[in-house]
Structure 1
């Protein structure tokens, strides 16, 4: 089973490498992924900059390398980190959006140590310094009064991994205190208006995932200190998996929220990444934790099976559907991705978007990890 999912993840990697991987402006020793395939000239020139998509492209490369390390994979990781720095023009920190920067810090932090890499150290410091003194959490972007989970979730994971567990707990506790709906799902965020706080109750798959991830990292640290407070975060992770199974998955366990392309193309893949973390890392010997691990593994495997069975193949390599319960469509150049109010909208045929294909790759890497754990 492990070999099957590993092979499928390899094919997803090969498809993105073949169709999307390019040097930045022809500069040797660089690599980024063009945002659409078939691609336009503007895509090939990285005319529009999709910072957080590239962070997830890097994260997928790290998944593949940790699963099976090769010199070629390690070289491409180095080239991608350099490509992001060059295309961002002034290092990694120049970006108004704290969610974008947190995603990159998470990916790079899996590969490098901030104590040894000044670029990562500067990026982490930039994110810490962005915490709002009034609310105690991060805004979505600079000079903004919108505080959301897609920013504070990955930032909390980053902070916990970097040893700033108290601050990670503050961000995570704020989310659980303010942004859990009646179904037990994590809502998008909260805007501070003149008349007071205003909820943004939209449910995004990746919000569930990052809060699972934050709870896991915090619980690990607290358990290492023999603190009973760890069980609060273990319980929260279990409750989120239950809510996802009830409200965001089909009876067969397939993640079935329709996210289309653009930024939304990444949302289910991110949730699958952290479901795999729960399946393989959730602490506890109780029947509750055992059941949660099995649920998380079932959702990942069922979703990956559906994704794979509904792919189309072009030149022997897969193209994945944006919606995992539907057949994939052959992408075309009909309409390319565009940006509105800070969000990237998808192509007319979402399968064209890098985000959708990265999400498929993420899911298959998650399935490979679950299979390796033999759950």
Structure 2
């Protein structure tokens, strides 16, 4: 694997280098993936794969609603780090592109809608790119997904359209973050109340008491009558898979609720989860694990985003946990950068940050194409580097 010359990663990282690396990752995504929607000016979306297939080029295949939400969020990260007219324009054009390609703001998956809501919320707050009706529509959709089955929580996707019985952390976590932040924009008290109930539901139903990590979700007996069933007795099974992004969204929800309510329990839950990630998920070098390509390419980056948020927000009395969160991000970013490949357009990252990335087309004749082609994998790494840059620019403790 070819590496850029002149970087000795054993040396202490000087201030500013993570911003430079995040810039490089963002430019690479823009160069290889960003395209107009059906050639229309004033719109952008990310191609799902690079090099793109013919279907990708035509824009008629799958397009990844929630991947595009994270493309928007990463573009906002870059704007926050260094605001320029071009970065604001990309935020505006990706927002338009999502609306145009999807034909509406909503879809059938509540986790997807929470992610887009978070990105639109941040775009309004930071970059003056506002879609207030769309944001309220998405929030109202999440309110409507709540039922008292399984003791509460929102569904993963619309059960009126799919034969599904699943409630999970990847839907309730980002929804809780979005609703907890809503009050900053004049949202009703009901938004914060619902965010608290969502996070409490995760705590009660889906936190492993042995490790402190969040499980994936649970399956509900749809035939049980919630009016006459004791809370939780209609749970058919708990899906005890451990994903990095489940930990990230629960940490993010706890941080937002701590800031909104000043209730100490939320800081304590965030700290417990940060420590669990460090002891149960990270490797001996403090590097977060990967979850392959496809949707899994985003998981580690999401955890890194909310670890950086926690590191910045935790009160001084939790300085040790803040350092743990920072170190997890920085160790993972260093490993991802050290294992990058160099391809057309800039650095290329792999689905595992501890394994050297491969440039698509460089595989042997018998090897399957690498997950490096996936937009999700490149966005996950870009998100990680933006998280490292955020930690880098935090003022030192006073």
2:203 and 2:139 map into 1 onto residues whose CA distance is 24
Q: 1:116 to 1:19 in 2, by over 3 A?
A: closer
SS at match of 2:167: strand
Q: Partner of 1:70 in structure 2?
A: 84
> Matches of 2:148 and 2:58 in 1, distance apart?
40
**Count of aligned residue pairs for this structure pair:** 351
In structure 1, what is the equivalent of residue 272 of structure 2? 239
Pair 115,370 (structure 1): closer, same or farther in 2 beyond 3 Å: closer
User: CA offsets per residue over residues 40-89 of structure 1, 9 Å max, x none?
Assistant: 11112232131000000000000000111000000011000000000001
* Paired residue secondary structure (1:202): coil
Q: CA deviation at 1:148?
A: 0.3
Of the candidates 241, 262, 274, which is equivalent to residue 306 of structure 2? Answer: 274
Residue pair 1:115, 1:121 contacting (<8 A) in 2 also? no
Match of 1:213 among 241, 252, 257: 252
| Cα distance in 1 for residues equivalent to 2:109 and 2:17 | 38
TM-superposed CA distance for 1:121, in Å, is: 1.7
Could you tell me which residue of structure 2 aligns to residue 53 of structure 1? 67
Q: Note the 1:33-52 alignment, pairs <5 A.
A: 33-46=46-59, 47-52=61-66
Among 185, 189, 205, the residue aligned to 2:217: 189
Q: CA RMSD in A?
A: 1.8
**Map 1:1-375 → 2, pairs under 5 A:** 1-46=14-59, 47-89=61-103, 91-93=104-106, 95-112=107-124, 117-134=132-149, 135-143=151-159, 144-163=164-183, 164-181=191-208, 182-193=210-221, 196-223=235-262, 230-255=263-288, 257-282=289-314, 284-286=315-317, 289-315=318-344, 317-332=346-361, 348-374=369-395
Q: Which residue of 1 aligns with 2:230?
A: none
Gaps of 5+ in 2: 1-13, 184-190, 224-233
TM-fit CA distance, 1:332: 3.6
2:294/2:376 contact within 8 Å kept: yes
| Alpha carbons 1:187, 1:204 under 8 Å: kept | yes
**2:4 matched residue in structure 1:** none
- Which segments of 5 or more consecutive residues in structure 1 lack a partner in the other structure? 224-229, 335-346
- SS in structure 1 of the partner of residue 241 of structure 2: strand
Give how far 1:316 is off.
6.0
Q: Distance in 2 between matches of 1:169 and 1:126?
A: 17
Alpha-carbon separation, structure 2, partners of 1:320 and 1:17: 14
Question: What is the alpha-carbon distance in structure 1 between the residues aligned to residue 173 and residue 362 of structure 2?
Answer: 34
Partners of 2:362 and 2:337 lie apart in 1 by: 24
DSSP-derived class of the 1:325 partner = coil
